[in-house]
Amino acid sequence: MTHQAPPPASLSAADPGRQIAQLREALRLVERIAGRPDTRGDDFRLDEAARVSEAYDRALPVTQRRFEALAAETVIWAAAGVEALLISDNGPPPRAAAARLADSLARALSDLEASLR
């Protein structure tokens, strides 16, 4: 039996700001499919990612783990939802389904940020 040291903390989880930015980009794509205008500019997205990274760095380890778990779960279902929209065989993806996914993703992003407060 061999013993391997756990990976350093910096490698064990993706950068929280980057995770938020990626989820925000997925939201932007889904909103575009839903026919919604892009209401938040790049400055907002960069600021949001920086705020989340800073809050994550200040958070207790238990709060960081909760954020990581919630972020991982969100990434999985958001990716599945986007994939389902994009593989529609009957022409363009349905706007109503995209709108519901966008609303859910926006709520999840708010929950992620709130989990670090």
Query: pLDDT tens across 3-30, in order?
Result: 544 444 443 456 898 899 899 999 999 9
Q: What is the DSSP letter of 94?
A: P
Reported pTM:
0.80
Q: Judge whether 7 lies within some domain.
A: no
Domain count, the chain: 1
* 102: three-class secondary structure by DSSP: helix
Q: Judge whether 60 lies within some domain.
A: yes
Q: Judge whether 9 lies within some domain.
A: no
Q: What percent of the chain has a predicted confidence (pLDDT) above 90? A: 61
Q: Judge whether 4 lies within some domain.
A: no
Tell whether the model's pLDDT for residue 49 goes beyond 60: yes
Residue ranges making up the domain that contains 69: 15-34+41-115
State the average pLDDT over residues 44-52. 86
Q: Judge whether 57 lies within some domain.
A: yes
Q: Judge whether 1 lies within some domain.
A: no
Q: What percent of the chain has a predicted confidence (pLDDT) above 70? A: 88
Nearest alpha-carbon partner for 102 in 1, 34, 9:
34
Residue count of the chain: 117
State the average pLDDT over residues 74-88. 90
Q: Judge whether 92 lies within some domain.
A: yes
Q: How many CB atoms lie within 10 A of CB 34?
A: 19
Confidence at residue 12, expressed as pLDDT on a 0 to 100 scale? 44
